[in-house]
Amino acid sequence: MTNASPEIANTIAAAGIETNYHDVGAGDPVMLIHGSGPGVSAWANWRLVMPSLAEQARVIAPDMAGFGFSARPDNYSYSMDNWVDQAVGLLDALDIQKTDLVGNSFGGALALALTIRHPERVRRLVLMGSVGVPFEITEGLDAVWGYTPSFENMRRIMDYFAWDRSLVNDELAQLRYEASIRPGFQESFSAMFPAPRQRWVDAMASPEADIRAIEHETLIIHGRDDQVIPLQTSLALHQLISRSQLHVFGRCGHWTQIEHAARFARLVGDFLAEARN
């Protein structure tokens, strides 16, 4: 039996959270952690690159608590502590001792925090348009986190995400709008990032000394024209993480994995493959 939606895949309890996750391919595991836009899911973020990465690895892509089709428990605290616990709980539930880790935006902050707290569980780290260091909240991020459901509002915030406006059409905005009004979606989303929103940027930042202490090989990716998370965040991470390399895509906004999907998959795939050679 197939699910009506490609966004729904497998379900397992991870640190007590019923977690929807994709599990495709075979080989060394790589966990992909999505961003925090309204109506987001792992599939929406990673659908264009999962098939390519799955040709050489076991790709695990969960919906974090409060997003997508994972549980939204009553009175749940949407915090970095709990999201890290859920991600590690998923690794435990799947009997994965060590994984490569790819984090997008909010997911980058989560991947960074997980690597700092559980360094033995991470082999290589990829941060894409990542949060995790201090910065002044952008107009784009404030608009994304402050979204209230309407097609017009979704269409407006979509314009912040992509450099190539042809990717941001009414059809995509309608799909994301419909995703954002599914039962429970907006309730959990609005509970995560109430104004003033600078405090949530600050709460996702890891201590500088902890970032400096990361010894993992790290690939940092950013779109030069990103209006949601400024390029300076990746420049700062590159300075702090000694075993890091930085790749900046020109003519690219916040959606590197969508605007440059083939290049992104090849870049990440080659970087992770180095550890197998």
**DSSP annotation string for 217-238:** -EEEEEETT-SSS-HHHHHHHH
| Predicted confidence (pLDDT) per residue in 57-116, tens digit | 999 999 999 999 999 999 999 999 999 999 999 999 999 999 999 999 999 999 999 999
How many helices, marked H, and strands, marked E, lie in the chain? 13, 8
105 catalytic residue (yes or no): yes
Q: Which candidate in 41, 70, 105, 130 is catalytic?
A: 105
The values of phi and psi at residue 29, to 5°, are -75, 145
Q: Which one is catalytic: 222, 238, 254, 260?
A: 254
Please tell me which residue in 22, 226, 238, 260 is annotated as part of the active site.
226
Closest CA to 253 of 173, 174, 168: 168
The answer to whether the CB of 115 falls within 8 A of the CB of 122 is yes
Structure confidence at residue 200 as a pLDDT band (50, 70, 90): very high
**Do the Cβ atoms of 217 and 101 come closer than 8 Å?**
no
Q: What CA–CA distances, in Å, run from 160 to 29, 37, 46, 253?
A: 32, 11, 19, 8
Q: State the residue for tokens 């076991």.
A: 58
Say if CB 195 and CB 146 are below 8 A apart: yes
Q: What does the pLDDT read at residue 168?
A: 85
pLDDT given at position 175: 87
- Locate tokens 């060590």: which residue? 98
CA–CA dist 253, 240 (Å, integer): 23
142 burial (CB, 10 Å; 0-12 / 13-18 / 19+) is middle
Distance CA 3, CA 257 (A): 25
164 catalytically annotated: no
pLDDT at 1: 40
More confident residue, 4 or 80: 80
What does the pLDDT look like over 117-169, one tens digit per residue?
999 999 999 999 999 999 999 999 999 999 999 999 999 999 999 999 888 88
Quick one: tokens of 102? 């790819």
